Amino acid sequence: GAFPALQAHAPQVLPFNEIDVARLGAGDVLLALSSSFGDGEPPANGEHFAEALRLAPALPGLRYAVFGLGDTGYPRFCGFTKALDSLLGERQAHPIMNRVDADACYETFFERWAPVLGSVLNGEPEAGRDLHLQVTAYGEDNAFNAPVIERRRLSGSCPAAWHVTLDLRGSGIVYRAGDTLHVLAPNDPALLDALAAWYGDPQAAELLRHKELRLLNKTVLRELARLGGSDGLKGLLKVSQRQALESYLHGSDLLDVLQDHATPESVPLARLAELLSPCLPRAYSIASAFGDTVSLCIREVAYVHRGRERRGTATGWLLASNLGVRIYCRSNPGFHLPTEPDAPLLLIGTGTGIAPLMGLVHELQASGSRREVHLLFGEKHRAHDFLYQEELEQWHDEGRLTTLRTAFSRDGASKFYVQHALAEHADPIRQLLARGAHLYLCGNKQHLEGAIQQAVNALYPEGAVDASTWSALQAQQRLHCELY
């Protein structure tokens, strides 16, 4: 069914290992569709085939096309299908299409590939030459340097929310709404200079430049407590003191911990550099759908603590850099649009949690889908904090958003949050969920999930049959949460 253009050619569908390589030759067309296993290895049903191909003589009459399925999270992305393409080429087989290297976006690649393949097989060899579907694998050791092409302030209040757009041209990065962008930002030069001053050693700045100085794990803290002989830090690391430790670390960095619990002599610089992990990537929900640019919605982090000005490691860089931003992308299938084409959507976002919801609506818009979409946005003040107000209201006027509801917590005499808005519109929300709606939730982990869970469960009397309670939505995979 997926290959209507191929039916006339009566294709044989076989596992790789059942293909007799010795009998492949003139007039045959091999369509190889495969994922790679482990670190670029063939799947179990392809090992013998790959070995037979390695030992095979020339196959000059064979025509072929390779469609590779992979995960850019692995070092040897699409390793097996890339090797297969090389082996066939070395055996003088003729490629009729450019090799496909697909990440989790393979469905959209396949929809573009299959009809073009049909055209090639029906006597239009040139049709396949212009189709390039190859995702480039990026990661922490191989990030893409993306120029910033737009910074737009979205809120009047402080700390401000910003819309930031990066240029992906030439990267080969393919993403879709719901995916995650990882940002690798350099350390603040002021913090590196302050550490060098504390050590009395200018080399410290260079030694610590690519180390994680903000997000300190317990292994690092335990070793600092041991080296520094600090009972205070040892006490904070007890399981019973989890909240006290979180409170102490909130807004602090490595220099604060060193000043409080160590001396330059007790924690030698070389030992510290050895102990710290490399800079950790910061993950952001994507606020766009696909294409040559990628957008984020971020909250500025800027404050003074213990007499030092601080900025968020990644947000500070995203809002100030003229040198580009090192990034890579990861698929997040749990937050993609549902496969059922008619399922309504209930999108709930607070603050910068609106980001991936904007991406989902952009994707619907681009695909021409007229799916029913209900959006609920929560923030503090309508006058200062209505992020993307113009776009959202325009989408509502055009009917792209079936309903647009808001909850501005500080505008009334009493606090009014998104969970209160759900209770206020209980009847339409119940009907929506009864019709198979998928619920997407994005925002602050601490406050949001529990409150929305309670509000959804409160829509139904206890023990109600066929109710779309929180657990029922989870079981039916109709619940999509992105909390940070």
CATH classification of the domain holding 426: 3.40.50.80
pLDDT exceeds cutoff 90 at 130 = no
* Same domain? 170 vs 296: yes
pLDDT exceeds cutoff 90 at 350 = yes
pLDDT of residue 6: 66
pLDDT exceeds cutoff 60 at 285 = yes
* Same domain? 390 vs 472: yes
Per-residue pLDDT tens digits for 240-266: 999 999 999 999 999 999 999 999 999
Per-residue pLDDT tens digits for 303-336: 999 999 999 999 999 999 999 999 999 889 899 9
* Same domain? 10 vs 118: yes
Residue 138 within a domain: no
* Same domain? 348 vs 436: yes
Residues 467-476 have a mean pLDDT of: 94
Residue 259 within a domain: yes
* Model confidence band, residue 64 (pLDDT cutoffs 50, 70, 90): very high
- Report how many domains make up the chain: 4
Which residue range forms the structural domain that includes residue 157?
A: 144-184+283-333
Looking at per-residue pLDDT, the higher value among 452 and 6 belongs to: 452
- Cβ-in-10-Å burial (0-12, 13-18, 19+) of 477 comes to exposed
Which of 226, 254, 275 marks a domain boundary? 275
pLDDT exceeds cutoff 60 at 2 = no
Residues 295-308 have a mean pLDDT of: 95
pLDDT exceeds cutoff 80 at 7 = no
* Same domain? 350 vs 421: yes
Residue 20 within a domain: yes
Which of 100, 128, 156 marks a domain boundary? 128
* Same domain? 238 vs 382: no
CA atoms within 13 A on the CB side of 56: 26
Interatomic CA distance for residues 288 and 393, integer angstroms: 17
* Model confidence band, residue 3 (pLDDT cutoffs 50, 70, 90): low
* Same domain? 21 vs 92: yes
Residue 315 within a domain: yes
Residues 154-172 have a mean pLDDT of: 95
Helical H runs in 200-330?
A: 203-208, 218-228, 231-236, 242-249, 254-261, 269-275, 313-320
* Same domain? 329 vs 341: no
The alpha carbon dihedral of 325, 329, 334, 335 has a sign of positive
* Same domain? 18 vs 51: yes
* Same domain? 287 vs 347: no
Give percent of the chain above pLDDT 70: 98
Residue 357 within a domain: yes
Backbone angles phi, psi at 96, to 5 degrees: -95, -10
Cis omega (within 30 of 0) on the bond before 159?
yes
Query: Which range has the worst mean pLDDT, 125-134, 163-172, 335-344?
Result: 125-134
